[in-house]
Structure 1
């Protein structure tokens, strides 16, 4: 029974299986790569690459950067700005332009308030006090004083100051043209004494048109823009249209009418070339005056359409102006009293 329960003694032929020559030969062979370098799924033909042991002199392995945090499905991802840089610059430019426009409007209102403040200071004497006349600017020793008060920067709104100023300079240009017409007619009279009628009419036109044009069409347009007066607008249109027609007649230069226009100037070249040249220059001035007159008539009419002026308001202003005149009221009262008492017996 003991021979079945006891282990047999090892014999000499028994040996360690790990010491088998085939195993030790395979483990000592370094011609093949180990499992950490060998990829059995690689489709390369041939034996696996040889194993290369890491050199102990190699430096430390650089530390790997930790992977970035993965976003969860509910976490919003940052895709950058929704507006491009060009759109941002456009928005900034639009905002800047709007601010500049508002600043310009505020400056315009400030100038308007300053103008009104100066006007109120000029009326500080009271509502019934009249402003001192300052036009024409005559010297103090002159026995005749100024007849009108004129201050474009104070009386006229800033939107219409340029137009009124141009009309004032246009009136001055017309006065200078009439003076030049007097000089050219005088020069023609010196070479041809038979043209005395033209010289006399040239003197008459210079003395008549210069003050009448100021009173009849410049002052109405000045007062029209100053107080938005419909009556003055219509008075200006009526008189200035007749003035433009007169400018056309001056430009034509009908002989014997006292205007050095184109017809008279071309005829004067046959008598005297220097005098003809002077009269031709005068004809050019008349032509420029006519063109400027037509342009300014259209300009004032376009500004008139932008205002609240109308023919009905002009009639109402005329009626109120007539009835507010003391002389007219006195004449109407006398006529009514005479009609009431009847004719004397």
Structure 2
């Protein structure tokens, strides 16, 4: 290792590159630039004196240059696939005629429906009771729960309709019980009154409490709700009396059934079934009138609203209007006659 010297450039025969004046000048310039970068602070508000500021160029707003449209000769013709397609070549006159016949048939169907809507006061044909066409008596009411009643009230209206049907069925079974009592020697009183109850109560219950509640839910009528509550309470009282079954009262109630067991067990069983039917009607009546009253209160109806509806309906009644106009005319004529004399 002694053969090697510490400074390889100590030999004067070897040229020292750092002794070249050009290299020394480049080194001095590099130190100046590095010193400027070391002194630069990006967070200082003033710029470094050693750093030159580039000259600012004047700015101008961007202007959109109008482009002249190409000459008419430069437009290209659209391809056949892009051109509007006309009617297919295989569309014959028979197809046109068939479509024309379909349009005429649809127009006739629309005209027929409009005529059906105009026919009648409500624009619909009565469909209840569902009587055959050959029957001389035609339906008296229109009833369609799916069409007339709002969706949230259809279930309760169906329950009321089924309740009316169950009342009618129990009244019909009451006739059978009265017939059994007649054959057992109890007399014809119960049998005759049971027929009268069936003839009177079945249509009256439909007209007096079922139709009002149907109209009440259909048009949200407070007046019809009031009519239903009043008549239905009477219905509950009548059914309760029939379930008790006073002797010779015309119904196979509890008292009549107990008395029938002393005569014949079979007659007692028949009358007991009728009694169970009447009791079931009373329970169902109470449950449904409670539910209807809850719905009635939730709709915001009141007695004042029912009175207002009643007054409005009375004034709209053509018979009432005719009577009022006749009374007014008579009063005017009487006043004129008194003034003459």
TM-score where L is the length of structure 1:
0.62
Q: Which residue of 2 aligns with 1:311?
A: 303
Distance 1:230 1:261 in 2: 35
Compared with structure 1, are the counterparts of its residues 209 and 123 closer, same or farther at alpha carbon in structure 2 (3 Å cutoff)? farther
Compared with structure 1, are the counterparts of its residues 213 and 308 closer, same or farther at alpha carbon in structure 2 (3 Å cutoff)? same
* Contact 1:122–1:131 under 8 Å retained in 2: no
Q: Which residue of 2 aligns with 1:9?
A: none
- 1:301 aligned to which of 293, 301, 325: 293
- 1:143 aligned to which of 136, 141, 155: 136
2:318 equivalent to 1:326: yes
Distance 2:213 2:190 in 1: 32
Aligned residue for 1:160, secondary structure, equals helix
| Superposed CA RMSD | 2.0
Distance 1:290 1:257 in 2: 18
* Aligned pairs (5 A) from 1:1-345: 125-126=117-118, 130-192=123-185, 194-342=186-334
Question: Structure 1, residues 298-341: CA drift from partner, whole Å, max 9, x if none?
Answer: 01001111113221111111111111111111111122222222
Aligned residue for 1:271, secondary structure, equals coil
Q: Which runs of at least 4 in structure 1 moved beyond 6 Å after TM superposition? A: 121-124
Deviation at 1:129, TM superposition (A): 5.5
* Number of aligned residue pairs: 224
Q: Which runs of 5+ in 1 are unaligned?
A: 1-120
Q: Which residue of 1 aligns with 2:31?
A: none
Distance 2:249 2:115 in 1: 48
Distance 1:200 1:147 in 2: 28
* Contact 2:239–2:281 under 8 Å retained in 1: yes
Compared with structure 1, are the counterparts of its residues 269 and 129 closer, same or farther at alpha carbon in structure 2 (3 Å cutoff)? closer
Distance 2:114 2:259 in 1: 56
Distance 2:114 2:148 in 1: 11
Q: Which runs of 5+ in 2 are unaligned?
A: 1-112
TM-score where L is the length of structure 2:
0.63
Distance 2:262 2:117 in 1: 64
* Contact 2:117–2:124 under 8 Å retained in 1: no
Aligned residue for 2:286, secondary structure, equals helix
Deviation at 1:124, TM superposition (A): 7.7
